[in-house]
């Protein structure tokens, strides 16, 4: 072979999967909680759609990554 | 048997007519070793080929009778220059089936192409390994539990070579020191567990001298009728191998009844022909190994792992007697960095082809390599001929499915367990589609929630309860805004108090006065804002019970505002 073949591994180290899963899910659930608290306590007049969407987007990003790392940590290599 | 004799006759007839038309290679020394210690018959030929003619020769042909060639699983020829201490490097010779036009159909020719032409008078050493399957015939074909297996093996004491052979010998290694019967030709010796035929000198080409050996053998005859091996690659760090076996005991069929009591009490007398364990050599660092079948997990298994291999010893639910079948699944995971490599712009997977089980003959091997979604330009390179095709597999978090390469081969022996490569292209950005799908899923939940909160699903928009609810919402909104204003007022008051404390510490009256001025301005704005809100509250009937409390709060705040300047006035007096 002209060049030597380099082994490929995961972009995120394997050993970090469980910790990352817990961390991201915790942050995601926290933001979800704040989203639902905002929904429950705000009245129809004061509700701001932008704030809702931003909170929802942030929560779904963290929950999405958290659930991905949870799947990887539990052995379902998707 | 009769067809066998007919072939022999044909070959003898052919030998007489064909001899003059060949190239002038002569095999000066031929040693054959046939290993009968397992169900797979391995023949090793060590020959020294000499070119006694004038033309240089580029090919050496090996011939096998048809009934042997049909069962031939692997033929490997290696040539070495020099002898003994000065042995040169060994080169693998490419083999192809090349049938000359005037050869009888019952003789199959394999031509090994030499890397360098053999000139006049030169000689070459060759080592050939031939692996045959299904060559041992059980005789008797049906046995009871107490009997041991006997097999028939038919071969020719003279190697049917298309060239004249000067000296040749044949050694047959048996699995034990017993033999039922064997053909006794001249120069036959039986010592230990080996039968030696030869040496025979100056035999013409294509000479044939049949020998039949009838011997006992109780080595495990595990034949996998079908093996489906699935290798799934995940770029997140795992190669998952799942193997589905359909195993049968390929020796003499078992008749009569099976007595478990006899088998457990005296396994060597009643059940010598059965095998209980299978051993698989898995690669090192294999994890999450499981062994299950259609019923569930099978717990009779052991794993012994070290740094060079992981040894898996499995015991099926019952011992395997002749003709008995079992089917099970073995799965294990391997770390990605041992098997996936990057070369230039392409990635390739380097993994073993065959079954990791020791000495299992696989009749139908189907190997599926499942590549992650988004892989392009897939190509497979296997060191021996196979049948390839492509399909798609739908697995976790897939949109279009994962491209799968299906490789099929018949009659796979443990010598086929070599490394093969699958090349493909994949960009790491495609890895992000999986978390992106999960994120979209969660976001759709949040959007649904938002829509639910914003949408108004009441049927009648003029009923009294609906109107009351609207007014209630409005009151709630107004109170929240008032609350907001009051909170901001409280912040201003805190700032004022802080400035007063500063004043008592360092006597800076000017800064305190500035803070007071800004606070006054802001408080004026707040009272202006709260006026319309108070008006809404006063007009709405729902706010009746909360209105007095709000007015009390406003009044209190007003009083505090009036007191504030008094405090300041005191300070100024002090100064």
Model confidence pLDDT, tens digit, residues B396-413: 888 889 999 999 999 999
Q: What is the pLDDT of residues B142-197, one digit of tens each?
A: 999 888 899 999 998 888 888 888 899 999 999 999 899 998 888 888 888 899 98
Which of A47-51, B70-74, B289-293, B493-497 tops mean pLDDT?
Answer: B289-293
Which of residues B488 and B136 earns the better pLDDT score?
B136
Average pLDDT of the residues in B478-490: 83
Q: Above 60 in pLDDT, residue B554? A: yes
- B-chain residues near A53 (CB < 8 A): 450
- How far does the CA of residue A40 sit from the closest CA of chain B (Å)? 9
Identify the band that residue B90 occupies on the pLDDT scale cut at 50, 70 and 90. low
Identify the band that residue B1 occupies on the pLDDT scale cut at 50, 70 and 90. very low
**Least CB-CB distance to B477: which of A9, A46, A60?**
A46
- Which B positions 63-122 lie with beta carbon below 8 A of chain A? none
State whether residue B452 sits within 8 Å of chain A by CB.
no
Which of A73-77, B161-165, B456-460, B517-521 tops mean pLDDT?
Answer: A73-77
Q: What is the pLDDT of residues B274-288, one digit of tens each?
A: 999 999 999 999 999
**Least CB-CB distance to B336: which of A1, A10, A35?**
A10
Short-list B296, B254, B245, CA closest to B272: B254
**B103, B15 contact by CB (below 8 A):** no
Q: How many CB atoms lie within 10 A of CB B36?
A: 23
State whether residue B421 sits within 8 Å of chain A by CB.
no
Identify the band that residue B14 occupies on the pLDDT scale cut at 50, 70 and 90. low
Lowest mean pLDDT among B111-115, B297-301, B425-429, B451-455: B111-115
The separation between CA A44 and the C-alpha centre of its own chain, rounded to angstroms, equals: 29
Q: Above 60 in pLDDT, residue B575? A: no
Chain A residue with Cα closest to B475? A43
- B-chain residues near A44 (CB < 8 A): 473, 477
CA triple B550-B555-B561, angle to 5 deg:
130
Chain-wide mean pLDDT for chain B?
Answer: 85
Instruction: State residue B112's pLDDT score.
Output: 85
Q: Which helix or strand (DSSP H or E) is residue B129 part of?
A: strand B123-132
- Which B positions 232-261 lie with beta carbon below 8 A of chain A? 234-238, 240
Distance between CA atoms of B540 and B13, rounded to whole angstroms? 120
State whether residue B498 sits within 8 Å of chain A by CB.
no
Chain A residue with Cα closest to B469? A44
Average pLDDT of the residues in B331-341: 93
**B110, B156 contact by CB (below 8 A):** no
| A34 contacts: CB under 8 Å, gap ≥ 6 | A55
Q: How many CB atoms lie within 10 A of CB B515?
A: 18
Q: What are the beta bridge partners of residue B292? A: B297, B329
| B573 contacts: CB under 8 Å, gap ≥ 6 | none
Q: Above 90 in pLDDT, residue B556? A: no
Identify the band that residue B502 occupies on the pLDDT scale cut at 50, 70 and 90. confident
Which of B31-40, B462-471, B542-551, B562-571 tops mean pLDDT?
Answer: B31-40
**Least CB-CB distance to B435: which of A46, A56, A64?**
A64
Average pLDDT of the residues in B78-88: 62
Short-list A69, A65, A53, A63, CA closest to A30: A63
For B223-256, letters b (16+ CB in 10 Å) and e give bbeebbbbbbbbbbbbbbbbbbbbbbbbbbebee
Average pLDDT of the residues in B137-146: 91
Q: Above 90 in pLDDT, residue B569? A: no
Chain B residue with Cα closest to A1? B343
Q: Residue for token digits 């020796």?
A: B251
Q: Which helix or strand (DSSP H or E) is residue B565 part of?
A: helix B547-574
- A-chain residues near B429 (CB < 8 A): none
Average pLDDT of the residues in B358-367: 94
Instruction: State residue B82's pLDDT score.
Output: 61
Chain B residue with Cα closest to A17? B236
DSSP character string of B45-82: EEEEEEE-SSS-EEEEEEEEEHHHHTTEEEEEEEEE-S
Distance between CA atoms of B71 and B480, rounded to whole angstroms? 88
Short-list B199, B139, B165, B129, CA closest to B48: B165
Residue length of chain B: 575
Chain A residue with Cα closest to B443? A60
DSSP character string of B411-422: EE-GGG--EEEE
**Least CB-CB distance to B474: which of A39, A45, A68?**
A45
For B324, the token pair is 């008995």
State whether residue A27 sits within 8 Å of chain B by CB.
no
Q: Above 90 in pLDDT, residue B313? A: yes
0.90 surpassed by pTM? no
- Which A positions 30-59 lie with beta carbon below 8 A of chain B? 35-36, 39, 42-47, 49, 52-53, 56-57, 59
Q: Strand, helix or coil at A48?
A: coil
- A-chain residues near B230 (CB < 8 A): none
Instruction: State residue A1's pLDDT score.
Output: 46
Q: What is the pLDDT of residues B105-130, one digit of tens each?
A: 788 888 888 888 878 888 888 899 99
Q: Strand, helix or coil at B457?
A: coil
Q: What is the CA radius of gyration of chain A?
A: 19
- B-chain residues near A5 (CB < 8 A): 341-343, 348
């Amino acid at each position: 072979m002209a060049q030597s073949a380099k082994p490929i591994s995961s972009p995120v180290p394997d050993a970090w999967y469980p910790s990352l899963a817990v961390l991201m899910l915790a942050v995601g659930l926290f933001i979800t909680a704040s989203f639902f608290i905002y929904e429950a306590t705000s009245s129809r007049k004061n509700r701001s759609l932008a704030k809702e969407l931003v909170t929802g987007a942030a929560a779904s990003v963290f929950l999405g990554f958290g659930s991905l790392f949870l799947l990887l940590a539990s052995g379902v290599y998707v | 048997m009769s067809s066998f004799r007919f072939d022999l006759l044909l070959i003898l007839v052919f030998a007489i007519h064909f001899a003059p038309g060949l190239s002038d290679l002569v095999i000066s020394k031929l040693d054959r070793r046939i290993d009968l210690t397992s169900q797979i018959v391995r023949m090793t030929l060590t020959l020294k080929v000499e070119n006694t003619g004038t033309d240089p020769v580029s090919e050496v042909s090996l011939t096998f009778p048809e009934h042997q060639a049909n069962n031939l699983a692997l033929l490997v020829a290696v040539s070495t220059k020099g002898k003994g201490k000065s042995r040169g490097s060994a080169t693998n010779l490419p083999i192809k089936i090349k049938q000359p036009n005037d050869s009888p159909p019952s003789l199959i020719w394999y031509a090994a192409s030499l890397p360098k032409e053999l000139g006049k008078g030169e000689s070459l050493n060759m080592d050939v390994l031939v692996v045959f399957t299904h060559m041992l015939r059980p005789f008797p074909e049906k046995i009871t539990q107490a009997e041991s297996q006997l097999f028939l093996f038919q071969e020719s004491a003279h190697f049917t070579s298309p060239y004249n052979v000067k000296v040749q010998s044949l050694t047959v290694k048996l699995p034990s020191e017993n033999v039922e019967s064997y053909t006794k030709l001249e120069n036959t010796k039986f010592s230990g567990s080996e039968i030696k035929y030869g040496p025979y000198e100056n035999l013409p080409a294509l000479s044939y001298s049949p020998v039949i050996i009838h011997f006992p053998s109780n080595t495990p005859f595990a034949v996998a009728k079908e093996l489906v091996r699935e290798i799934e690659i995940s770029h997140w760090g795992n190669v998952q191998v799942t193997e589905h076996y359909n195993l049968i005991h390929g020796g003499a069929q078992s008749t009569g009844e099976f007595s478990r009591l006899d088998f457990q009490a005296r396994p060597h007398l009643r059940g010598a022909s059965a095998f209980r364990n299978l051993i698989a050599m898995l690669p090192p660092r294999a994890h999450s190994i499981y062994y299950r079948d259609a019923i569930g997990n099978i717990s009779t298994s052991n794993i012994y792992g070290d740094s060079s291999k992981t040894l898996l010893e499995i015991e099926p639910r019952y011992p395997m007697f002749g003709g008995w079948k079992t089917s099970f699944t073995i799965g294990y995971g391997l770390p990605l960095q041992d098997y996936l490599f990057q070369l230039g712009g392409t990635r390739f997977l380097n993994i073993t082809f065959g079954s990791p089980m020791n000495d299992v003959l696989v009749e139908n091997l189907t190997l599926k390599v499942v590549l992650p979604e988004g892989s392009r330009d897939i190509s497979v390179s296997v060191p021996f001929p196979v049948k390839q095709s492509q399909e798609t597999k739908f697995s976790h978090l897939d949109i279009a499915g994962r491209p799968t390469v299906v490789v099929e081969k018949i009659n796979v022996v443990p010598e086929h367990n070599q490394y093969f490569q699958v090349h493909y292209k994949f960009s790491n950005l495609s890895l992000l589609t999986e978390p992106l799908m999960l994120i979209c899923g969660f976001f759709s939940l949040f959007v649904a929630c938002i829509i639910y909160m914003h949408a108004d699903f009441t049927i009648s928009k003029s009923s009294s309860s609906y109107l009351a609810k609207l007014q209630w919402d409005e009151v709630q909104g107004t109170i929240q805004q008032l609350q907001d204003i009051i909170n901001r007022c409280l912040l201003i008051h805190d700032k004022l108090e802080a400035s007063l404390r500063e004043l008592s510490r360092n006597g800076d009256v000017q800064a305190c006065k500035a803070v007071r001025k800004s606070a006054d301005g802001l408080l004026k704005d707040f009272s202006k804002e709260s006026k319309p809100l108070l008006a809404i509250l006063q007009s709405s009937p729902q706010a009746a019970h909360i209105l007095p409390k709000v007015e009390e709060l406003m009044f209190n705040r007003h009083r505090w505002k009036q007191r504030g300047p008094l405090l300041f006035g005191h300070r100024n007096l002090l100064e």
